[in-house]
């Protein structure tokens, strides 16, 4: 064991739950220089400059949440009973009504919520990507940011019509390129930029081709929605004569750098193609089930697709998401499939590996110190037997008490340390009030 440095922190008396490993009771974990320097039995822990008493609590890696649009929580609690994805649903606030500043204020609330729910790494993409990156700089999340690129006219889309708006395509493509120049690698690499075409139906073939060209040249990942709705599948089949999965394959986008959200409306040939390509699925079981759909996740995985988890525009609760992934898979299979350990792996190390960060999502010496401590007094977290079962089947974002990202203590005793939480909440609600008044003709 190396001698302790002045910034060293010993998190003492915890039950360590790291994916793929048995629960370690009576353990301690030392953080130094933003990394986990040591884990082991607490009796063997060397003293450090600072100590946090874990009080026997469950200690997990920070969650990796691979698909979000934080400003879209403005429609949360309403859109679920009206339609599916907000862009396709009339009668609710639309993204193109938001100013950059309003996008920032909403993103800041969404990112604060993610952090307080134990997510330390997120992928966040939407229009005004600069505003999302500014929010990430402030909230302290490790963030992969994208600018939502599309050339389907937003107003027509909300009414179910596809009309090409070439100027929108050019502008959003430029925003995405500017984002990379301005933000990729910011704050010591904590903020990174990705390509983010919205979906195969809201991007013309030409626009997708342009993104494929950019991604092939710079090697950055491509995040998108894929096979999200029958509307998308029908539109692409009518326009291009093939399925959305086939279209991305034709354009050279179907490869391990692709992060496809949803993947619900796929046929056998699509599943085989996606598996062969080794793409990443961003599985959003809560959002999917809310509009009555279950993605064939296990068939996709069997074919070779790598599965990650995300909360998309719903609450930032990855506990609920892990649980719902199991429920959705069992409801679809009508069989006892999938287990807690597997979905816990998807939500932590699996997501980290997918994003190219194999030193994340695990509580092991040498890994980045993204660490979450749960509430030692929460009755729903008992009994602890193997640890992973109770966390997945009974845990909640409300149980998160402490969150560290790269060793920085971003949530302490349930409160964000960098942010004025009251102001963040108040300013976001004011934006929501104004936009909902407009949506209702006020």
Residues that bind Zn ion (CB under 5 A): 312
Residues contacting 74, CB < 8 A, separation 6+: 93, 106, 431, 432, 435, 436
Contact 347, 64 (CB under 8 A): yes
Written as six digits, the tokens of 58 are: 């469950």
- Least distance (Å) from Zn ion to the CB of residue 291? 12
- Identify the CA nearest to 196 among candidates 147, 128, 247: 147
Residue 191, C-beta contacts closer than 8 angstroms, at least 6 positions apart: 133, 136, 137, 142, 143, 145, 183, 184, 185
- Which DSSP string corresponds to 54-121? EEEEEEEEPEEEEEE-GGGGGGTTTGGGT-SSGGG-TTS--GGG--HHHHHHHHHHHHHHHHHTTEEE
Residue 110 or 407 having the CB closest to Zn ion: 110
Closest of 152, 242, 287, 260 to residue 196, by C-alpha: 260
Q: Of 198 and 402, which CB lies nearer to Zn ion in the complex structure?
A: 198
Nearest distance, CB of residue 124 and Zn ion, angstroms: 10
Q: How far is the CB of 89 from Zn ion (least distance, A)?
A: 13
Give the tokens for residue 257: 């750098």
DSSP secondary structure code for residue 13 in this structure: E
Q: Which is nearer to Zn ion, 312 or 375 (CB)?
A: 312
CB 260 within 8 A of CB 274: yes
8-state DSSP, 152: B
What's the closest the beta carbon of residue 46 comes to Zn ion, in angstroms?
A: 45
Closest to Zn ion by CB, 124 or 312: 312
Tokens describing residue 308? 């990650």
Residue whose Cβ sits closest to Zn ion: 312
CB of 87 to Zn ion, least distance (A): 9
Nearest one of 212, 296, 223 to 69, comparing CA atoms: 223
Minimum gap (Å) between residue 347 Cβ and Zn ion: 17
Nearer to Zn ion, 45 or 158 (CB): 158
Residue 69 CB, nearest distance to Zn ion (Å)? 6
Minimum Å gap between C-beta 110 and Zn ion is 13
CB of 312 or CB of 427, closer to Zn ion: 312
Tokens of 261: 């959200």
Q: Which is nearer to Zn ion, 176 or 395 (CB)?
A: 176
Q: Which is nearer to Zn ion, 210 or 312 (CB)?
A: 312
């Amino acid at each position: 064991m190396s001698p302790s440095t002045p910034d060293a922190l010993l998190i003492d008396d915890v039950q360590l739950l790291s994916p793929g490993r048995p629960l370690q009771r009576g353990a301690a974990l030392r953080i130094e220089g933003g990394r986990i320097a040591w884990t082991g039995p607490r009796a063997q822990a060397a003293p450090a400059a600072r100590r946090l008493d874990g009080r026997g609590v469950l200690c997990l890696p920070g969650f990796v949440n691979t698909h979000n649009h934080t400003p879209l929580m403005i429609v949360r609690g309403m859109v679920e009973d009206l339609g599916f994805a907000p862009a396709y649903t009339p009668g609710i606030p639309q993204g193109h009504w938001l100013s950059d500043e309003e996008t920032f204020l909403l993103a800041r609330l969404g990112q604060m919520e993610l952090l307080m729910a134990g997510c330390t790494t997120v992928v966040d993409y939407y229009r005004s990507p600069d505003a999302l990156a500014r929010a990430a700089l402030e909230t302290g999340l490790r963030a992969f940011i994208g600018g939502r690129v599309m050339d389907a006219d937003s107003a027509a889309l909300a009414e179910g019509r596809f009309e090409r708006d070439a100027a929108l395509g050019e502008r959003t493509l430029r925003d995405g390129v500017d984002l990379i120049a301005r933000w990729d690698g910011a704050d010591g690499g904590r903020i990174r930029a990705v390509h983010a075409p919205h979906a195969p139906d809201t991007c013309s073939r030409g626009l997708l081709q342009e993104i494929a060209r950019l991604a092939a040249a710079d090697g950055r990942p491509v995040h998108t929605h894929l096979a999200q709705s029958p509307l998308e599948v029908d539109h692409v089949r009518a326009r291009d004569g093939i399925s959305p999965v086939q279209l991305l394959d034709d354009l050279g986008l179907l490869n391990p750098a692709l992060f496809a959200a949803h993947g619900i409306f796929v046929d056998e040939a699509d599943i085989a193609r996606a598996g062969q390509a080794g793409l990443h699925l961003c599985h959003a079981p809560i959002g999917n089930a809310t509009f009555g759909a279950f993605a064939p996740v296990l068939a996709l995985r069997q074919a070779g697709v790598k599965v990650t988890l995300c909360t998309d525009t719903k609450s930032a609760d990855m506990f609920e998401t892990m649980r719902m992934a199991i429920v959705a898979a069992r409801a679809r299979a009508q069989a006892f499939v999938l287990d807690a350990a597997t979905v816990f792996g998807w939500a932590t190390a699996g997501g980290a590996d997918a994003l190219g960060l194999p030193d994340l999502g695990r509580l092991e010496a040498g890994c980045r110190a993204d660490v979450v401590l749960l509430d030692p007094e929460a009755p729903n977290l008992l009994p602890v037997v193997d640890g992973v079962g109770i966390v997945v089947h009974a845990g909640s974002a409300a149980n998160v008490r402490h969150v560290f990202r790269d060793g920085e203590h971003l949530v302490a005793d349930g409160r964000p340390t960098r942010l004025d939480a009251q102001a963040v909440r108040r300013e976001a609600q004011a934006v929501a009030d104004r936009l909902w008044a407009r949506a209702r003709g006020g």
